[in-house]
Structure 1
């Protein structure tokens, strides 16, 4: 007798419905992770924009202060 890999399904549709019982799809962590798709990328892009804008305007203000 060879050991079975995984559970033995007697119902032909039970194997197809088993994914619903796994906690990885419907856990609170998975739901929260997919709540705001793209938020991380947008946050990094906006932070980079604000830093670049502040550096640019600081250099521009220093050049205008010296030139009168």
Structure 2
């Protein structure tokens, strides 16, 4: 008996359907790639809000302007 590294497909359509079991088509990978760049955008927006609040609060404190300034 020879050692064949490829699986033996008795069903003629099984070979054509084998790609569905590939890890690249798993639900986790498909969901992760649903919104590309979303994680980077969340980090960038969080950093922007934090810097904006920090800088804005420092500038308001230095100039003496309060929240009721019109």
**What is the TM-score of this pair, normalised by structure 2?**
0.65
Structure 2 residue aligned with 1:42: 41
Q: Partners in 2 of 1:29 and 1:55 — Cα distance?
A: 37
Can you list the C-alpha shifts for 1:24-61, whole angstroms capped at 9, x where unaligned?
12221111000000000011001000000000000001
Aligned residues: 62
Provide the C-alpha distance between the structure 2 equivalents of 1:65 and 1:2, rounded to a whole number of angstroms: 86
Within a 5 Å distance, the mapping from 1:1-68 to structure 2 comes to 3-5=3-5, 7-8=7-8, 14=15, 20-65=19-64
Give me the CA root mean square deviation.
2.7
The structure 1 segments of at least 4 consecutive aligned residues displaced by more than 6 Å after TM superposition are: none
Question: Tell me, what secondary structure is at the counterpart of 1:37?
Answer: coil
Return the alpha-carbon distance in structure 2 between the equivalents of residues 62 and 19 of structure 1: 65
Distance of 2:62 and 2:7 partners within structure 1: 72
